[in-house]
């Protein structure tokens, strides 16, 4: 992967008739450091891009701060085939299952591989299943772009429990249309005390799934994570018009025996 850098240009304001006016907005760029970067203000040379983190580069009367990207910067630019599980929901999955460096995670379906890639940064190992070859190709491409080595991608139908051979799984994440069809798979692969996580957009789907749970799988909770971003500065504090409200319901189930 080509060496990347983050360029940050702060919002620029001036006072006009005792009022603060924005004359240049905030900018954030994810750029290749092996070639010059063209901005609307001018060109930043690749020599300047290779300066250490925290360095300031001037383009005319604008200042750009150079940062080294972290995993999240790379992750936000993975290839996407469809809607991925959002960061707010990934956070809830991590918090409610207690994923650690010793955890083994099973994920289905892969989609673009987003959840597999994020959890692989925390877990010991992630196995990701999908029946769609194009999804598996995109997942593999994203894994390679992020330099991850602890994810195994498999083509297979997660509903066909006899063909899924994993065992002693700590966390099993299901982002599939009909998770009820994968209950036998969950019973087979999860270790005692392991978590099954269901991601569904509609509450009626959650109800249908819960009705199918056997006694050995205990439903711990169903949650909906609502995120609202605020605009805060010296003179204002209000919700931003764009926010992430409902995306899906997360249901956490635990294997008892």
Tell me if the bond preceding 109 is cis, omega within 30° of 0: yes
| pLDDT band, very low/low/confident/very high, at 246 (cuts 50, 70, 90) | confident
Residue 93 DSSP code: H
Average pLDDT for the chain: 93
Phi, psi of 254 (to 5 degrees): -125, 135
Query: According to the model, what pLDDT value does residue 11 have?
Result: 80
Domains and CATH numbers, the chain: 4-69 (3.10.330), 77-255 (3.40.50.150)
Q: pLDDT category, 238, cuts 50, 70, 90? A: confident
Is the pLDDT higher at 18 or at 244?
A: 18
Task: Work out whether the CA dihedral 137, 139, 140, 145 comes out positive or negative.
Answer: positive
pTM: 0.91
CA–CA separation, 153 and 125 (whole Å): 11
Residues 6+ apart with CB under 8 A from 67: 5, 6, 7, 8, 53, 54
CA torsion sign for 183, 187, 188, 191 is positive
Mean pLDDT computed over 45-60: 94
Give me the pLDDT at residue 243, please: 60
Over residues 67-90, the mean pLDDT reads: 94
| CA distance linking residue 143 with residue 116, whole number of Å | 9
Contact status, residue 121 vs residue 147, Cβ threshold 8 Å: no
Largest CA distance in the chain: 74
- Sign (positive/negative) of CA torsion 108, 106, 78, 27? positive
Task: Compute how many other C-beta atoms are within 10 angstroms of the C-beta atom of residue 55.
Answer: 13
The dihedral through the CA atoms of 191, 103, 200, 204 has a sign that is: positive
Identify the band that residue 82 occupies on the pLDDT scale cut at 50, 70 and 90: confident
Kind of pairing, strands 169-174 and 104-108? Answer: parallel
pLDDT given for residue 244 in this prediction: 59
The pLDDT tens digits for 184-237 are 999 999 999 999 999 999 999 999 999 999 999 999 999 999 988 888 877 789
pLDDT band at 1 (very low <50, low <70, confident <90, very high): low
Contacts of 248 (CB under 8 A, 6+ apart): 85, 89, 199, 200, 201, 224
For residue 19, is pLDDT > 80?
no
* In the predicted structure, residue 92 carries a pLDDT above the cut 90: yes
Of 20-29, 52-61, 126-135, 185-194, which range is least confident? 20-29
Closest C-alpha among 237, 133, 119, 234 to residue 173: 119
Nearest to 214 by CA among 242, 250, 181, 183: 183
Q: What is residue 24's predicted lDDT score, i.e. its pLDDT?
A: 74
């Amino acid at each position: 992967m080509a060496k990347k850098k983050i360029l940050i240009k702060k919002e620029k304001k001036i006072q006009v008739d005792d009022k603060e006016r924005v004359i240049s907005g905030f900018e954030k760029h994810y750029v290749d450091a092996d070639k010059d970067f063209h901005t609307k203000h001018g060109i930043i040379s690749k020599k300047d891009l290779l300066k250490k983190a925290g360095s300031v580069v001037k383009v005319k009367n604008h200042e750009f701060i150079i940062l080294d990207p972290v995993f999240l910067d790379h992750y936000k630019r993975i290839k996407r085939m469809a809607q991925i599980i959002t960061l707010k929901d990934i956070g809830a999955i991590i918090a409610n299952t207690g994923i650690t460096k010793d955890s083994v995670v099973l994920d289905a379906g892969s989609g673009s591989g987003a959840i597999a890639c994020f959890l692989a940064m925390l877990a010991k190992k992630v196995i990701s299943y999908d029946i769609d070859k194009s999804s598996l190709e995109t997942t593999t491409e994203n894994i390679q772009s992020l330099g991850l080595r602890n994810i195994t991608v498999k083509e297979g139908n997660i509903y066909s429990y006899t063909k899924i051979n994993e065992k002693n799984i700590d966390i099993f994440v299901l982002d599939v249309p009909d998770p009820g069809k994968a209950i036998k798979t969950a019973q087979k692969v999860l270790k005692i005390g392991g978590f099954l996580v269901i991601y569904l957009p509609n509450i009626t789907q959650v109800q249908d799934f819960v009705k199918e749970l056997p006694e050995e799988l205990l439903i711990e909770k169903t949650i909906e994570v609502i995120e609202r971003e605020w605009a805060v500065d010296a003179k204002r504090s209000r919700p931003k018009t764009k926010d992430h409200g409902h995306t899906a319901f997360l249901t956490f189930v635990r294997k008892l025996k």
